[in-house]
Structure 1
Amino acid sequence: MIKKSANLLLVDDDPSLLKLLGMRLTSEGFTVQTAASGPEALRLLQREKIDLVISDLRMDEMNGLALFSEVQKQQPGMPVIILTAHGSIPEAVSATQQGVFSFLTKPVDRDALYSAIDQALAHRAPASDDAWRENIVTRSPVMLRLLEQARMVAQSDVSVLINGQSGTGKEILAQAIHAASPRAGHAFIAINCGALPEQLLESELFGHAKGAFTGAVSSREGLFQAAEGGTLFLDEIGDMPQALQVKLLRVLQERKVRPLGSNHDQDINVRILSATHRDLPKAMEKKEFREDLFYRLNVVNLKIPALHERAEDIPLLANHLLKQAAERHKPFVRSFSTDAMKRLVAASWPGNVRQLVNVIEQCVALTSAPVISEALVEQALVGENTALPTFVEARNQFELNYLRKLLQMTRGNVTHAARLAGRNRTEFYKLLSRHELDASDFKE
């Protein structure tokens, strides 16, 4: 059965034939992109997620077979159907030997064309089988290698630690691993370990018994129990308090969890994925993260590159995100101008994909034209430079400023500063170490 949601790229230097075939396929429910030459088609392939290329054979600038060869360099395995008004058996044999999926003679029989499209899309599906990572849009060789690793580790229950800057998509990768795993039919539950106070985080993870603390009027299961049979994703594991690191280690070792305030253990069957933006080996050196827990979590390590390290993905991502935003808010918005796209590619993206999403949402919200201009992109980028930090980033900045103020007030007297903060000296020293502050720098 033909996959009507497929995105087809039609290539022909005859405008009338290009328009006619495009209208025919659009009326059948396909999404259709058109290009009047081979080079234009290759540029479109860099911007759009294409499922199948249908090209004329005889074109002035680049013929169909030359285009096929370039397409395979860009996207190996992309099916290509060649159409020609001058078909011959030798040409057809040569084309199919080179890997062209189908070779059809004009005027193309409707049923023959749809049959070829159907077979080409069916042939591509098993090879790519991308449903498990449908939310990850990429053609970057680095990302494709990472996804291949992710697919392989998904098949077992080994613990995976995902490293990457904020906004790179660590949770999305974790969701993809879950979707590709035998546990895909069960729950995927995520929690940010740096966003909750220690007692609340402990209760969220392990559950609590009735009366375990003030306000615990009934027993409540934790996320380990709620994720039974599925996957629990511990985001920003590097920010987990050390007391909870000990309890988490016990859970991983014994595969049992004890709710807060309970005397009874509960067996669990959960896969653990975790992520952090921190340098955990460095945190281990500072005694801020347990070495034994690190090795339990870091059986396989996956590192997501920053967006500026995979700039070839920016046009593809930008167009994908623009299409989504336009569908939600302004369907008349179609594309970026050439200069606007160049500006997006040239940006440094300290906030990574999360920042790109915000910039494109702003552009769509503010535009009244179908094509996003460079000026609008620039305006959105400037606005992003003053955007709010994440909760964790804001909390860390507050802690740093607070500690500096305490040390200034007490002239570097740690005992006095700890007393003012309501912390014991050991805890206070850990806070100073975490924020790389030296009390002696504040002594007069």
Structure 2
Amino acid sequence: MSAEAPTQPPSAPHLLVVDDDPDMLRLLSMRLAAAGYRVTTAPSAEAALVQMEAQRPQLVLSDVRLPGRDGLALFGEIRRRHPSLPVILLTAHGTIPDAVEATARGVFSYLTKPYESKELLHKIAEALAVAAPASAAPHAQEAWREEIISRSSRMAEVLAEAWMVAQSDASVLLRGDSGTGKEMLARAIHRASPRAQRPFIAVNCGAIPEALLESELFGHVKGAFTDAVANHKGLFQAADGGTLLLDEIGDMPPALQVKLLRVLQERAVRPVGSSQSHAVDVRIISATHRDLEAAMAAGQFREDLYYRLNVVTLTLPTLAERREDIPLLANHFLGKLAAKYGKRLSGFAPEATKALITAAWPGNIRQLYNVAEQVCALATTPLIPLALVQRALRVPSVQVLTYAQAKQQFEREYLVGLLKLTDGNVADAARLADRNRTEFYRLLQKHELTPAHFQS
């Protein structure tokens, strides 16, 4: 008979424990229930499979030695029916080789008896984190941050501060490495603010040429410059009543920083070529991955503008600093991309998820999305295998050239070497290359090399 500890709420993680020793089952149930888990037990592999048909657990903890089908056979059947369900095996010394082999085949982990309760609970928590599905639909009160997939304590602190600052009209500076989700957090702040029903507009200050950025931000009037064939409202006016995100504010040209400071002080914009100013009511959120203090010290960023923008600072952690979010994000992205590509994907194999969790992630969430997109595009099975994740994570250490590119590169370097050796004397260089002068000149023209540049 199977039994379930009734002390935990339905939202508690559900574990299935399989062992033919009633005393061991009772002891494990008590330990796991005390740790906050909802526990179902089964005395055999057959009973466990029946129990799983009634209610699928989030993790299976099984002894290797069972009557009838053993724990390894149970794992094989679980893997066939529920490929992404993590399994932890409990093994005596005599069955360690079997457990090691099972780990190679995809068992999440195994523990050798006797084991420490602390070690068991750590393995269970780790396995549940690896197998975590994308978060469910958010509670109505959490709708403002529904795009931000997270359960890490670091992000929880940032989001709590973001909610508080959203209720005010203070300017916010978002700091964080490239790819950490600064624009997404800015949108969440806007949705949580009283301005939520008004426009949210984002502009990347580093992506627009300096000559166009002023017009893009503040607008222009007809005839202000050659291509100004009509009046144009800038982004400040377009965001009136709402929120304007100045992304990569650290890349804004110094001359434009002066004009931005004036707009923030006067709360009015003057379009390029106009003598009139227009009042604007805009909440400013700025974002950067640069060290603005160092930029100020180098004279590249105005101190008065910095303090105007930096009323409240929120710093986003890197993906490596919130590794518990990686399975959530990976599965969330995979679900969205599977729908986009029309593929039926069930998730990542446990060993593939472990590889994702331990990766370096210099590109943060943006890199994780790119990896998810690559494995989705190349997947041929519903469960993403480890090999596909490893392929997507691999970054070539050397540039691979085509044969034609390598030939071109060698030819140019060879000619440069000859010209250096002969101080730009074409006749001597052609003789060393065993080519006539006319042919040698053609080669120099092909690679845009001027002999005079090599003369002493």
TM-score, with normalisation over the residues of structure 2?
Answer: 0.60
SS of the aligned residue for 1:150 comes to: helix
Change (3 A) 1:296 1:341: same
- The answer on 1:227 being equivalent to 2:250 is no
Displacement of 1:38 in angstroms is 8.2
Aligned length, in residue pairs: 295
2:166 and 2:201 mapped to 1: Cα distance?
A: 16
1:357 to 369, 373, 398: 369
| Equivalent of residue 236 in structure 1, options 240, 248, 261 | 248
Contact 1:233/1:272, CA 8 A, preserved across alignment: yes
Aligned to 1:125: 139
The alpha carbon displacement at 1:331 in A equals 3.5
Amino acid at match of 1:352: N
More displaced 10-residue stretch of structure 1: 315-324 or 233-242: 315-324
- The match for 2:417 is none
Partner in structure 1 of residue 217 of structure 2? 205
Q: Aligned runs of 1:173-184 on 2, under 5 Å?
A: 173-184=185-196
For each residue in 1:53-77, what CA deviation from the matched residue of structure 2 results, as whole angstroms up to 9, or x when unmatched?
Answer: xxxxxxxxxxxxxx9xx99xx99xx
**Partner in structure 2 of residue 35 of structure 1:** 58
Distance 2:50 2:245 in 1: 53
* Residues 193, 201 of structure 1: 8 Å contact kept: yes
Tell me which of 246, 249, 256 is aligned to 2:258. Answer: 246
Partners of 1:355 and 1:384 within 8 A in 2: no
Distance in 1 (CA, whole Å) between partners of 2:163 and 2:358 is 31
Deviations 1:412-443 (A, max 9, x none): xxxxxxxxxxxxxxxxxxxxxxxxxxxxxxxx
- Superposition CA RMSD, Å: 3.0
Determine if contact 1:15/1:36 at 8 Å carries over to the other structure: no
Instruction: Specify whether residues 310 and 384 from structure 1 end up closer, same or farther in structure 2 by C-alpha distance, changes over 3 A only.
Output: farther
Matched, 1:320 2:332: yes
* Identity in percent: 56
Match of 2:391 among 379, 384, 389: 379
Determine whether 1:19 maps to 2:53: yes
How much does 1:281 deviate? 0.5
Return the alpha-carbon distance in structure 2 between the equivalents of residues 146 and 178 of structure 1.
15
Please tell me whether residue 311 in structure 1 is matched to residue 311 in structure 2.
no
Which residue, 191, 208, 214 being the options, matches 2:203?
191
Aligned partner (choices 153, 176, 184) of residue 164 of structure 1: 176
Partners of 1:386 and 1:206 lie apart in 2 by 45
SS in 2 for 1:327: helix
Q: Rg larger in 1 or in 2? A: 2
Say if 1:234 and 1:152 are closer, same or farther in 2 by CA, change over 3 A: same
For structure 2, list consecutive stretches of 5 or more residues without a partner in the other structure. Answer: 1-10, 16-39, 42-47, 63-77, 79-83, 87-120, 130-135, 400-456
Contact 2:59/2:85, CA 8 A, preserved across alignment: no
Write out aligned runs for 1:343-354 (5 A). 343-354=355-366
Partners of 2:218 and 2:85 lie apart in 1 by: 50
Amino acid at match of 1:368: T
Aligned residues of 1:10 and 1:18 also touching (Cα < 8 A): no
Tell me the SS of whatever aligns to 2:217: helix
Distance 1:284 1:367 in 2: 48
TM-score by length of 1: 0.62
> Take 2:51 and 2:367, find their aligned partners in 1: how far apart are those partners?
41
Quick one: distance in 2 between partners of 1:298 and 1:44? 46
Q: Distance in 1 between matches of 2:51 and 2:387?
A: 37
For residues 369-397 of structure 1, what are the alpha-carbon distances to aligned partners after superposition, in whole Å with 9 as ceiling and x for unaligned?
1111111111111258899xxxxxxxxxx
Q: How far apart are the structure 2 equivalents of 1:347 and 1:36?
A: 24
Q: Are the structure 2 counterparts of residues 307 and 237 from structure 1 closer, same or farther at C-alpha, using a change threshold of 3 Å?
A: same
